[in-house]
Structure formats: C-alpha cells, structure tokens
Amino acid sequence: MSRITLVIHGGAGTITRKSMTPEKEKAYKDKLNEALQVGYAVLKKGGSSLDAVEATIRIMEDSPLFNAGKGAVFTNAGKNELDASIMDGKTLKAGAIAGVTTIKNPISTARMVMEKSEHVLMTGKGAEQFAKEKGAEIVDPSYFYTEQRYQQLQKIKQEEKTQLDHSEDKGSLDEEQSIFEGKKFGTVGAVALDQFGNLAAATSTGGMTNKRYGRVGDSPIIGAGTYADNQTCAVSATGHGEYFIRAVVAYDVAALMAYKGLSVKEAADEVVMKKLVKMGGEGGIIALDKNGNIAMPFNSEGMYRGYIKADGTSEVLIYK
C-alpha cells in the first residue's frame, strides 16, 4: 500500500501564465484534482493500476477542458476523431483504438481490445463495431462538438489561406485559443502503481486540430505515446505526435532504464529534454517507476500535470 502512486497529464503546449485567466486556471486545476482523487480512490481500495488509469482518464475524457473525448479538437473535415491506448506493466499486454468518432470513452474500448480480443490496435469503423458488440457506450458524433474547438478550427483554416500549410508559427493563435493548445498538442494521460507493485499507463486524445486524411499520432501507438513494464516504468506522452512516434519516446525511456541503468528521472530527461529537442519535437511525458519515483519533464511552455502519493499528498502544476 505504501507505494501506490498516480501521475496524470492533461496535455502540453503553449500554456503560459499571461494567457490564463484565474477562472480558467482554477477550472483546469479543479478537474485535474478530481481526476487524481478518482484514480487514488481506486488504488486506495486495493484496485489495480489498470482500473485506476482507466477511471482517471474517463474523468478527463468527459471534460470539455481537454483534447480527449468530449473536448476533442476538429479535423480538417470538421469531425472529431479519437485515439487511445492502455498497457499493463505486469503482462505487457496492450490495447488501442484510433480514428473513432462515436465511442464516448475511448480509453475503455482500448482496454476491451486488450482484454477481449487477440489484437492490440483497432481503427475506425472496425473499432466502433467492436466497441458496440462489447457494450461500450456509443454516442452520436455531435456529442463531441464544443463551440470553442470548432472556432479554433475555423481560425486555423482562415490562417492557412494566408500562410503555408506546414507553418510552425506558434504565435498565430491568439492567447485565448493558445490556452487550449489548439495547434499541435493536447492529450490526457495517466500512469499508476498499485499495492501489488504493478504499473499501468494510459493515454487518450482528439489528435491535432485541422489534421488531415485519417492522421494518427503517437497516443494509440504502443512504445511511442504509451508504455508500461513492471521491470522499468510506465509512461504516457503528450506533444507533437509525429516526433514521438519517430523517437519511440515511451519505450526509449524504459529501454534507457533497462539497458543503461538510468533512473526514471534521468531516462525521461534524456529523451524529452535532449533527444526530442534535437529533433525539434515539442511536448512532455509523465513517467513512474516500480518504486513510486516520478518524472514529469516537458520542453514546451507548459504541461497540465499532477500526482498523488500513497499518503494522499498531491500536487497539480501547469507552468514551468
């Protein structure tokens, strides 16, 4: 019991004090705290790390504040496409779904893929059919519509007319929008250690605003956006997914611990603050080792993040 720990993130990106109103800051902190308390309650009752990360992520998926579930961003075609993954550090089993539009809580379906199918990753219509057959809650795509996210898409489309498609101009979104990390990032994640010493990791996202043609980022890719192994650590990532896939970020942290004997903090810093920075990849991760040691490095302006320890002490942070 003494080691139970839960760490969460609600996305990384251009999150600065000057772009945050006191009301908005409070809303984020309250929701992050709620998510932590829900997951902590599961662990405290003797629940598994898998149960804890799933319950935690569902709270964030149901909140319009985060780019996952209800608050998902819009694709170029004006849809909300969701991705999620979960991994069990004890068995190295994993489940993931990508490009779904009707599943209320993608993280729960990702877990069904892990536990009720022989597969790891299902996409699109097939994943939705599987979810329906397994009794997941199905909603009309309009459930994911939020006015703020829709306006974000319109704004970015407008800007595209005046600048090249692949522009990395971070200053183009006004401050009100940038707080929603609308351009590139925004994902929710959780990693947990339960009383049995088992680690689990989970990640859920609405992807990238204005993404094209069925684009899938790192969140549902095991080893990139999510990884868990009882021998080393559990990791959930948030950031510019293309870079996280190419750098195999989540697995790389575990590998540095396994092969080089680095601590979770050393390994996480090596990957996020050095390797990713060198490649030009922006974002961050949360990582947790089997002894309850935590790392939450990010190379962006900010990252919504928090943790809660066995004795109930917790902290929620936003800025550098």
Structure tokens that stand for 165 in this block: 């498609």
Structure tokens that stand for 160 in this block: 């595209």
Q: Which of 75, 109, 187, 238 is catalytic?
A: 187
- Asked about 187 being catalytic, the answer comes back as yes
Partners of 100 in the β-ladder: 82
96, with CB counted inside 10 A (0-12, 13-18, 19+), is buried
Which amino acid would we find at residue 261? G
The tally of CA atoms less than 13 A away on the side-chain side of residue 310 is 13
Cα-Cα-Cα-Cα dihedral sign, residues 50, 59, 38, 291: positive
Give the active site residues: 187
